[in-house]
């Protein structure tokens, strides 16, 4: 049984308009199914606005799902009341994208990291609390003596380490990382990725790693799920997906990844047209208005996400060709 099992998850967000207009919804997540095994890192990639962050938040019920099932370690989260859900919060935590806004500027580092210890009553004494905070800061490469400092006294990379320490304070089993390195310099990105990997080895953590950087995801994750317009269009082992992508959208994403070798002959796939609106997704395959190989049935028949014998799944009528 996987640690996290998401089945046909949908998050439709209402859009406010004039009182005389028809009610509309944004189909931010539109029927996503994926699994994360214990100790596994699964990457979730796609363009901005494809629904990655909404999916990550819905998994933790920071955003309420419209339909579908979220099963964590055998318990269905979508049916839990607030009190029962709080008990599971210890086992699922999130590292946010923006290290500058994810920390309260009026709280010291020690107060931010120790807040979860207070909520879940994990430190029986003040001395035990201070010792636990010091250990967490040390584990992410920070000086425990800096616990009395405020977030503005740290760099972006250090703030992200504080965010990781805060997430680790309650000994979770699953971390949802929402673009955890996108706001950092390249050299600092490598440090944070290495930190997350070390933490995974030491604690046996599972990750749902959200990113738009396929190079980072290939390096860090064992499996990849590619999202487009609220749906997963391809999934499989990271190396296989990145080396031999089958969906035209995945092929276009990978062709845009910078190549170090200036003599590389890898063709660049330029997508034309605009991304369809999630307010009114197109009929058939959601990618067909931009797909360079779309044919007649792509415009009328939505392809199912079909699993192959090699453990890869693709939602494309032409993937087998």
Q: For residue 199, what is the domain's CATH number?
A: 3.40.50.300
Average pLDDT over every residue of 270-289: 86
**Would you call 67 helix, strand, or coil by DSSP?**
strand
Q: How many Å apart are CA 255 and CA 249, to the nearest integer?
A: 10
Q: How many Å apart are CA 230 and CA 9, to the nearest integer?
A: 10
Output the CA torsion 309→310→316→321 (10° steps): -90
Summarize pLDDT for 14-68 with one digit per residue, the tens: 887 765 667 788 899 999 999 999 999 999 999 888 999 999 999 999 999 999 9
Tokens found for residue 255: 């062709």
Inside any domain, residue 36 = yes
Identify whether the C-beta of residue 199 lies closer than 8 Å to the C-beta of residue 272.
Answer: no
Average pLDDT over every residue of 264-276: 78
Inside any domain, residue 84 = yes
Average pLDDT over every residue of 123-146: 93
Inside any domain, residue 319 = no
Predicted local confidence at residue 236, as pLDDT: 95
Identify whether the C-beta of residue 222 lies closer than 8 Å to the C-beta of residue 302.
Answer: no
pTM exceeds 0.75: yes
Inside any domain, residue 54 = yes
Q: Tell me the percentage of the chain whose pLDDT exceeds 90.
A: 62
Residue 88 φ/ψ region, left for φ over 0, alpha for ψ in the -120 to 50 degree band, beta for the rest: alpha
Bridge partners of 237?
Answer: 223
Predicted local confidence at residue 248, as pLDDT: 93
Q: Is the pLDDT of residue 150 over 70?
A: yes
Question: Whose CA is closest to 15, among 280, 276, 274?
Answer: 280
Total count of domains within the chain: 1
Average pLDDT, the chain: 89
Question: Whose CA is closest to 156, among 112, 207, 209, 102?
Answer: 102
Inside any domain, residue 112 = no
Q: How many Å apart are CA 77 and CA 73, to the nearest integer?
A: 10
Range of 76-80, 154-158, 234-238 with top mean pLDDT: 234-238
Q: List strand residue ranges (DSSP E) for the chain, in order.
A: 4-15, 24-36, 41-45, 67-72, 75-76, 92-95, 174-178, 206-210, 223-228, 231-237, 306-307, 313-314
Q: Is the pLDDT of residue 215 over 90?
A: no
Inside any domain, residue 190 = yes
Identify whether the C-beta of residue 256 lies closer than 8 Å to the C-beta of residue 268.
Answer: yes
- Alpha helices by DSSP H, listed for 120-227, are 126-139, 156-168, 186-203, 214-220
Inside any domain, residue 280 = yes
Predicted local confidence at residue 321, as pLDDT: 45
Print the domain residue range for 212. Answer: 4-91+172-314
Inside any domain, residue 279 = yes
Q: Is the pLDDT of residue 200 over 80?
A: yes
Q: How many Å apart are CA 259 and CA 2, to the nearest integer?
A: 35
């Amino acid at each position: 049984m996987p640690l996290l099992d998401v089945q046909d998850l949908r998050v439709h967000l209402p859009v406010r308009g004039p009182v005389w207009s028809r009610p509309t919804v944004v189909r931010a997540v539109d029927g996503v199914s994926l699994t994360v095994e214990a100790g596994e890192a699964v990457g979730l990639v796609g363009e901005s606005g494809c629904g990655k962050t909404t999916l990550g938040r819905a998994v933790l019920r920071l955003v309420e799902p419209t339909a579908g099932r979220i099963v964590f370690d055998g318990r269905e989260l979508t049916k839990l009341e607030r009190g029962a859900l709080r008990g599971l919060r210890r086992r699922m935590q999130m590292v946010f994208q923006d290290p500058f806004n994810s920390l309260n500027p009026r709280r010291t580092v020690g107060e931010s990291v120790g807040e979860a210890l207070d909520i879940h009553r994990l430190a029986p004494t003040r001395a035990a609390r201070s010792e636990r905070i010091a250990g967490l800061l040390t584990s992410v490469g920070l000086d425990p003596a800096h616990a009395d400092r405020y977030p503005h006294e740290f760099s972006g990379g250090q703030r992200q380490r504080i965010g990781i320490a805060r997430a680790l304070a309650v000994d979770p089993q699953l971390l949802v990382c929402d673009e955890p390195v996108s706001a950092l310099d390249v050299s600092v990105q490598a440090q944070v990725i290495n930190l997350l990997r070390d933490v995974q080895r030491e604690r046996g953590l599972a990750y749902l790693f959200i990113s738009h950087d396929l190079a980072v995801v290939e390096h860090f994750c064992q499996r990849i799920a590619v999202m487009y317009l609220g749906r997963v269009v391809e999934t499989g082992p990271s190396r296989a997906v990145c080396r031999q992508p089958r969906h035209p959208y995945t092929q276009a994403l990978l062709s845009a990844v910078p190549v170090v070798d200036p003599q590389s002959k890898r063709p660049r796939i330029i997508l034309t047209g605009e991304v369809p609106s999630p307010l009114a997704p197109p009929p058939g395959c959601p990618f067909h208005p931009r797909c360079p190989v779309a044919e007649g049935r792509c415009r009328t028949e939505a392809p199912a996400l079909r699993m192959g014998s090699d453990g890869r799944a693709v939602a494309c009528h032409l993937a087998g060709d």
